[in-house]
């Protein structure tokens, strides 16, 4: 197939968020109150976009009753996404001065050109950037412009209508303009009521438009939904486009447009799937596939398939395919027109080659116009299974066209009788027309908004759904209503009835609609396994039933969790205090429950996780030695239990102090001398030293004393010699405390009471020497 994007395109994924901006304004049924119209959010939104790292998004989020942002022109930079949440509405400023492109102050005026306004959202060379989210961007083209803070007597759309009357150009801002971007993505966003074009892409390649919604009245002039001008490799899919001009317009001004796919989309009001009118540098390889057009019987300007140009903007339009197309209430079903502007002058002849229409079915009568420019520049077109129900010969205009018919029927084959035509009729089958059931023409748009992709069996789940009309009220009707009701809006009546969420064929949630466009629908518990959720809308007197959405999730027994353990210090001393911290993480929010701390087989404590998924325990009594510490999460209804990696620690012994003291400083020879030993730790009394103490008299060991439970001990002796003795002791240490030695304590042994000994102290040395000599003599 020639006519397609050469890329393989998959559904976009919303990137991580760098910044969340909360709404500060509140929107009512008719928009913003006048006192809020000067409270622009432009500065903080632009600053966030400028500061956001590549590959991330700035998220616009509601805040309680506040759901609106007010913007003047902003610029999306390279590789950054503007993300608009589903309950947020972004309003474009109504002040023309906010959009002025230069010093002419031309925005909001009529002129010979329409270059006086900046777009509301612009992306210039913003490769890999995007505009995403299920929210709304509303250009408010129907509301009066604000001049010096006061409503003018004209809206942007009134200005456009006046421009047409005076053959001038309106200077109105476009809603979104992409300029020479590569791989830009527009995903799920709703664009409404643009003063001018809703989305315009100029140059660049690799544009993906997925799930775009465009809604504006059919009588709002020049409100094209998607314009693709000299752009290549584009895919537009799963989109709903309804407004007042081209639903899709492909233009081929320099350097031309090519390789464009528009598929699986619904066009409401508008001027159809259009090729041209600018084609000077060629338009090649365009595919429209599985498209429906649903017009309005009051709109005589409704168009379906259209290829248009003239001698001022003509060029080669080649390899264009429309297939699998349904139409209803489309006044001009097929238009191939090289005379788009019949007063145009120039020499750029429009040439339409290799146009293919296959499986085209208009279920209501429509006009068919297929023309070549002249005999030298004919149009070549294939019609295969093309049916316009109720078509009459007066509906068909053809000239200078080479027709290839078949092999499936073409019910207007006998009406292709215009000047300069040639027909190769190869119809050989009686196959029925392409099937176009009522469901092919949806009047409401439904979305399921994905949330959790994985949840545990015990978790409750609420699905958000959007359901809203696919079209707007005609602008003329709105203006009439406004005269009777100052609160009139462009919105069609909200759907009533019910939304049912289905898991396969089983209903798992039902919601009765109560107005609005966004609904939260609680679901019953889903069994363990993978589920694909879809939704059905019951329909009401205004809107037929539809099915919509595709939300895949997996229910598991428990989510896996991860537990980690950290120790507050790597230098742990016995008897000190150290903090153990466990952090439990998971993929479905912050885990709850408890963590058990242990040292080996010894359970230390069980602590409840805080709001951040952390638990702490202060280990105050730590005997010395090597320990293997663990933290084990006990699990919850959502998360499975998990033990974190063990942490090995070494607890070093603490210092000790040893003292020895005699029961009295002086003893009579032969009396008991009691030496008391105390070993104390430096751990504030939390731990007590154990083990033994060696007692010394000078260098002579007296005894080894075992400490009791209080760290004390004693030794009694009555064999010490007369004289002064230097008593010391040495603590041997244990696992908790290091060894230590005492200061010297003195004990004196005398042969008479202490008072007498003191009075004859001068004679003592001679007496001691004499007693020692006598003792040796006896031996």
142, 266, 271, 373: the catalytic one is 271
Q: Is 302 helix (H, G, I), strand (E, B) or coil?
A: coil
User: How far is 571 from 383, CA to CA, in rounded Å?
Assistant: 86
Backbone angles phi, psi at 395, to 5 degrees: -85, -10
Nearest to 306 by CA among 262, 345, 348, 344: 262
Which position among 138, 227, 245, 269 bears the catalytic label?
A: 245
Is 271 a catalytic site residue? Answer: yes
Gyration radius from the chain CA atoms: 45
Instruction: Specify the pairing of strand 647-652 against strand 656-662.
Output: unpaired
Under the phi-then-psi rule, with left for phi > 0, alpha for psi from -120 to 50, and beta for the rest, what region is 163?
alpha
Strand pairing report for 121-124 and 74-75? parallel
Q: CB of 23 within 8 A of CB of 36?
A: no
Give the burial class of 679: count Cβ atoms within 10 A of its Cβ; 0-12 exposed, 13-18 middle, 19 or more buried: buried
For the chain, give the longest Cα–Cα distance. Answer: 162
Residues 236 and 266: beta-carbon distance below 8 Å: no
293: tokens are: 């057009």
Sheet containing 332-337: order of strands: 74-75, 121-124, 176-179, 199-202, 226-229, 248-251, 273-275, 303-308, 332-337, 367-371, 396-399
CA distance linking residue 262 with residue 247, whole number of Å = 11
Distance from C-alpha of 680 to C-alpha of 656, rounded to nearest angstrom: 6
Lookup: tokens for 196: 């001018």
Is 245 assigned a catalytic role? yes
CA-to-CA distance for 214 and 247, rounded, in angstroms?
Answer: 9
Q: How far apart are CA 411 and CA 415, in angstroms?
A: 9
Beta bridge partners of 481: none
| Residue 228 near residue 246, CB atoms below 8 Å | no
Measure the CA angle with vertex 145, ends 144 and 146; round to 5°. Answer: 115
CB atoms within 10 A of CB 1: 11
Cα of 605 vs its chain's centroid, Å: 39
- Helical (H) or strand (E) element with 771: helix 764-778
CB atoms under 10 Å from CB of 760, counted, come to: 10
Residue 103's CB is within 10 A of a number of other CB atoms, namely 6
Residue partners of 186: CB distance under 8 A and separation at least 6: 130, 131, 132, 176, 199, 207, 208, 209, 210, 212
Q: Which residues pair with 603 in a beta bridge?
A: 598
- The set of catalytic residues is 245, 271
């Amino acid at each position: 197939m020639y006519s397609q994007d050469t890329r393989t395109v998959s559904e976009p994924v919303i990137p991580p968020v760098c910044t969340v901006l909360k709404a500060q304004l509140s929107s009512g049924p008719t928009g913003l109150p006048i006192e809020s119209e000067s409270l622009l959010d432009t500065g903080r939104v632009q600053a966030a976009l400028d500061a956001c790292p590549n590959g991330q998004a700035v998220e616009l989020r509601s805040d309680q009753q506040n759901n609106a942002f007010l913007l003047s022109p902003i610029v999306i930079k390279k590789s950054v996404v503007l993300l608009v949440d589903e309950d947020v509405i972004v309003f474009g400023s109504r002040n023309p001065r906010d959009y002025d492109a230069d010093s002419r102050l031309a925005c909001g005026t009529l002129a010979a050109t329409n270059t006086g306004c900046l777009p509301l959202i612009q992306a210039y060379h913003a490769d890999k950037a995007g505009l995403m989210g299920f929210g709304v961007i509303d250009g408010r083209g129907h509301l009066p412009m604000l001049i010096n803070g006061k409503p003018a007597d004209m809206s942007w759309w009134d200005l456009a209508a006046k421009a047409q009357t005076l053959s001038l150009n309106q200077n109105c801002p476009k809603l979104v303009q992409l300029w020479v971007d590569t791989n830009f993505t527009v995903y799920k966003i709703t664009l409404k009521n643009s003063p001018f074009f809703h989305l315009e892409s100029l140059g660049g390649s690799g544009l993906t438009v997925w799930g775009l919604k465009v809604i504006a009245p059919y009588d709002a002039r020049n409100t094209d939904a998607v314009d693709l001008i000299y752009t290549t490799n584009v895919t537009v899919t799963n989109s709903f486009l309804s407004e007042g001009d081209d639903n899709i317009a492909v233009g081929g001004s320099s350097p031309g447009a090519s390789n464009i796919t528009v598929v699986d989309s619904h066009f409401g009001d508008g001027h159809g799937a259009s090729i041209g009118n600018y084609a000077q540098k060629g338009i090649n390889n365009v595919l429209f596939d599985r498209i429906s057009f649903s017009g309005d019987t009051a709109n005589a300007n409704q168009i379906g398939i259209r290829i248009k140009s003239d001698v001022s903007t003509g060029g080669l339009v080649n390899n264009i395919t429309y297939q699998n197309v349904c139409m209803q209430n489309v006044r001009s079903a097929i238009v191939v027109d090289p005379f788009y502007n019949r007063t145009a002058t120039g020499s750029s002849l429009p040439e339409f080659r290799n146009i293919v229409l296959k499986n085209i079915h208009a279920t209501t009568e429509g006009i068919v116009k297929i023309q070549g420019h002249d005999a030298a520049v004919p149009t070549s077109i294939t019609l295969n299974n093309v049916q316009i129900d109720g078509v009459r010969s007066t509906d068909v205009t053809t000239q200078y066209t080479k027709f290839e018919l078949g092999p499936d029927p073409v019910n207007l084959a006998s009406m292709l009788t215009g000047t300069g035509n040639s027909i190769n009729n190869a119809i050989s089958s009686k196959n029925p027309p392409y099937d176009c059931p009522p469901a092919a023409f949806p009047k409401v748009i439904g979305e399921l908004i994905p949330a959790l992709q994985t949840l545990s069996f015990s978790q409750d789940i609420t699905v958000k759904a959007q359901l809203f009309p696919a079209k707007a009220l005609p602008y003329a009707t709105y203006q009439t209503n406004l005269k009777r009701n100052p609160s009139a809006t462009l919105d069609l009546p909200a759907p009533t009835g019910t939304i049912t969420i289905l898991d396969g064929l089983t209903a798992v949630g039902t919601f009765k609609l109560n107005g609005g466009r966004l609904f939260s629908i609680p679901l019953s518990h889903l069994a363990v396994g993978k589920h694909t959720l879809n939704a059905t809308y019951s329909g009401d007197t205004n809107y037929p039933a539809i099915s919509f959405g595709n939300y895949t999730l997996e229910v598991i027994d428990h989510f896996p969790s991860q537990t980690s353990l950290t120790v507050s210090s790597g230098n742990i001393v016995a008897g000190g205090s150290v903090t153990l911290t466990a952090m439990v993480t998971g993929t479905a929010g912050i885990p709850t429950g408890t963590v058990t701390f242990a040292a080996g087989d010894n359970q230390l404590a069980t602590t409840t996780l805080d709001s951040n998924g952390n638990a702490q325990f202060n280990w105050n009594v730590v005997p010395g030695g090597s320990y293997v510490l663990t933290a084990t999460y006990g699990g919850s209804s959502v998360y499975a239990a998990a033990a974190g990696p063990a942490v090995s620690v070494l607890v070093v012994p603490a210092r000790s102090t040893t003292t020895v003291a005699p029961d009295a400083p002086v003893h009579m020879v032969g009396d008991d001398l009691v030496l008391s030993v105390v070993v104390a730790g430096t751990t504030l009394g939390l731990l007590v030293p154990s083990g033994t103490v060696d007692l010394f008299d000078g260098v002579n060991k007296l005894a080894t004393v075992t400490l009791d439970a209080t760290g004390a001990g004693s030794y009694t002796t009555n064999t010490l010699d007369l004289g002064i003795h230097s008593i010391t002791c040495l603590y041997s240490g244990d696992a908790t405390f290091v060894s230590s030695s005492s200061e010297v304590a003195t004990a004196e042994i005398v042969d008479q009471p202490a008072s007498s000994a003191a009075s004859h102290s001068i004679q003592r040395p001679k007496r001691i020497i004499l007693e020692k000599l006598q003792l040796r003599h006896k031996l």
